[in-house]
Structure 1
Amino acid sequence: MAESGAIIGLPAWLDTPAGARLLEWEQQHLDEVVTDIFGFHALQLGLPRIDALRANRMPHRWLAVENPAEAAACEGQAALRAVSLHCDFDALPFDSASLDLVVLPHTLEFARDPHLALREVERVLMPEGRVVIVGFNPASLWGLRERAERWRRRLRRRHADALQTGGSPLGYRRLRDWLRLLSFEVEAGRFGGYVPPVASAKWLARLGWMERAGDRWWPIFGAVYVVTAVKRVRGMRLVGLIGAPRRKPVPVAAPVAAAHQHEFESGPDAR
C-alpha cells in the first residue's frame, strides 16, 4: 500500500504557490472535459482537494478515498456534493459495467498497484464508458526537478518549493500502452503546467507567458497531462438493428419488348 506520508505530501505541496497554480489548471481543464460526458453514475477516486465532477450533470456522483485523512479534508467543503466512500482502489465496491465515468486525479501515482487499479476501473465501467486520468509528466521541467531533488536530499536538506509528492509518476506513453491493453481507446490528451516550479508567486506571475509558449512550441513537456479514454467492447451490436424486418427480394420480370425484338431479328428473313 502507498505510504501514508506520500499521499499526505501531495495536498501539502498543493498549498504552495506552484501547487495552487497547477491545481487551478487541472480544475479548469477537468470542468471542460467532464461537462459533455453523459450517463447516470460517476466516480472520482482520490484527491478530494479537487472536485473533478462539479461540472458533470450525472444524477449519481461519488468521491472515493483510501486514506481516512483524505476524507477529513472533504469536511467543510460545500462544493463537494459527491458521497464519500472508503475503499481500496483495486477492489471497488461496484458491480461490473455499472459506472459511466471514472476520474483518476493523480490516483495511479499513489496506488499500491497502478495497473491493477486501472484494470478495476475497466471492470466497473460500462461499454462506451469514459475514464479521465490526471498525472504528473516525468518528461518535464517539473519531473526533472523532482528527480534532481531526490538526489540532493541524499546530501542536503529538503527544499520546500520542490515537487515532493512522494508518488511514482506514470509516463504518458506508458499509460497509453496500459489503456490499449485494457481495450481502451484514447479520445483526447492534453498537457499543461509549463512554468518552472519556482517558490515565489511573483515569479510565477512573471513567467506566465511560458504557459502559452509551451502549449504551442513544446506541448509534450508540460508538468501534468489529462487523458480521456473510452472503453471499447469488441463484437458489440446495436440493439436497434436486432430483429429489424428484412425486405424480401422482388423478382424482376424480363423485358417483353426486348424478347420480341430478339426473336424477330433471328427469323428466316433476317440479313
Structure 2
Amino acid sequence: MSIDNITTDQALKDKHRALWASGDYPAVADVIAALGPRLTDAVAIGPDDRVVDIAAGAGNVAIPAARTGAHVVATDLTPDLLVIGESREPDLGIVWRTADAEDLPFDEGTFDVAVSCVGVMFAPHHQRCADELIRVCRPGGRIGLINWTPTGFIGQLFSVMKPYAPPPPPGASPGVLWGDADHVRALFGNHVHDVTATTESLPISRFADGAAFRDFFKATYGPTIATYKAIGDDPTRAAELDAAMAALADDHIADGQMEWEYLLVTGTVTG
C-alpha cells in the first residue's frame, strides 16, 4: 500500500471512529440488545471457548458470551464504546481492545469463535473484514454474524438517508450487503463451510410513532447524525429528511411494534 493510500485509509478510519463516537450509540445498542444472546446461542458459545467479538460496540455479544464462561476479547475501532462496555460488566474478565476489523492485531488461529453483530458490516472494505474473520479463527472454529438486510427496515432507512448523506469513500461497499446471503458466501469462498444463512426479525416496541423513532435516531445514531450534518443549514432538505424518516417508520409500526429484519449467518472455518 502506498503512503498516499495509507494516509487516505487512516483519514477514513478517523472519520468512522468519530462517527460512532457521536450521539449515543449505547442507547441504540440497548434497543437491539436481544441480538447479542441470539448470536451467542447460534454459534453455541460455551465455557472455555476463546471468542473475539469484532466491532463489538458496547458489548452486546461480548457480555452474554462471557457469561457462558467463554474467554472473550471485545474489539472496536472506537475506544469510547469499549469504555462504556467495560463499565457495564467490569467483573466478567472480558478484554476490551481497540482494533480495526480490517487489520486485527491477533495471530492466525487465535480464537475458537469469531462473531460480529451489526458491527463489521459498517467497515468499508468487506473482503478485508471477511479475510480477518477467517484468519483469526482456528480451523474448525465457528464464525457468526448478524447484519441488517438490504430489504428490512434498517436497510430501507439507509436508502432513505442516502440522497442526503455524504458520498461514500472510493472503494467502500454498502454495509447492508452483509445482509445478503450470496454476498457473504462469496466473501467467505471455500474458506468457510457449512454456512447457514437465516433471515429473522427483531421485534421493537420502543417507538410510539415514526416521529419518535426519527427523533431518537437523530439524537443517538452516528450515521443519522452524520447525514443531518451533511445537510448543514439547508432547512428544506432537513425537513424533507425529517418527513421521509418518520414516514418510513410509520409504515413499519403496527400495534405499537416494528420488525427489524436481519440476516444470521454461521459457518465453520475450513481446516
- TM-score bracket, shorter-length normalisation: 0.5 to 0.7
Q: Aligned in 2, Cα 1:94/1:47: closer, same or farther, shift over 3 Å?
A: closer
- The answer on whether the counterparts of 2:36 and 2:60 sit within 8 Å (CA) in structure 1 is yes
| Shift of residue 12, structure 1, vs aligned partner | 3.0
| Equivalent residue number for residue 186 of structure 1 | 195
Is 1:72 the counterpart of 2:83? The answer is yes
Q: Do the aligned partners of residues 54 and 86 (structure 1) sit closer, same or farther apart at CA in structure 2, a change above 3 Å counting?
A: closer
Paired residue secondary structure (2:134)? helix
Structure 1 length-normalised TM = 0.62
User: Taking every aligned residue pair, what percent have the same amino acid on both sides?
Assistant: 17
Match of 1:15 among 22, 27, 34: 27
SS at match of 1:15: helix
Deviation sequence 1:70-118 (CA, Å, 0-9, x none): 2232242126641111222222222212210011122322224221121
**What pairs with 1:98-117 in structure 2 (closer than 5 Å)?**
98-117=110-129
On the 8 A contact 2:47/2:70 being kept in 1, the answer is: no
Q: Distance in 2 between matches of 1:38 and 1:81?
A: 13
Q: What does 1:28-67 align with in structure 2 at a 5 Å threshold? A: 28-36=37-45, 40-56=49-65, 57-67=68-78
Residue in 1 that maps onto 2:255: 206
| Aligned-pair CA distance for 1:46 | 1.8
AA in 1 matched with 2:134: E
Q: Answer yes or no: is the 8 Å Cα contact 2:58–2:82 preserved in 1.
A: no
In structure 1, how many angstroms separate the alpha carbons of the residues matched to 2:162 and 2:254?
27
Q: Show structure 1 runs of 5+ residues with no match.
A: 155-166, 212-221, 234-271
Flag the structure with more relative contact order, 1 or 2, with Cα contacts below 8 A and sequence separation at least 6. 2
For these two proteins, the number of residue pairs brought into alignment is 205
| Structure number with larger C-alpha Rg | 1
Structure 2 gaps, min length 5: 1-11, 167-173, 214-249
Map 1:1-271; keep pairs closer than 5 Å.
1-2=12-13, 3=15, 4-8=17-21, 12=24, 15=27, 20-21=30-31, 23-36=32-45, 40-56=49-65, 57-78=68-89, 81-151=93-163, 168-170=175-177, 171-172=179-180, 173-193=182-202, 198-200=210-212, 206-208=255-257, 211=259, 223-233=261-271
Q: CA deviation at 1:119?
A: 0.3
TM-score (norm 2): 0.62
Deviation at 1:231, TM superposition (A): 0.9
Counterpart-to-counterpart distance in 1, 2:36 and 2:254: 19
2:59 partner amino acid: I
Cα deviation, 1:196-242, whole Å, max 9, x if unaligned, reads 983448x868243x65xxxxxxxxxx532221111123xxxxxxxxx
Residues 69/180 of structure 1: CA separation in 2 closer, same or farther (3 Å cut): same
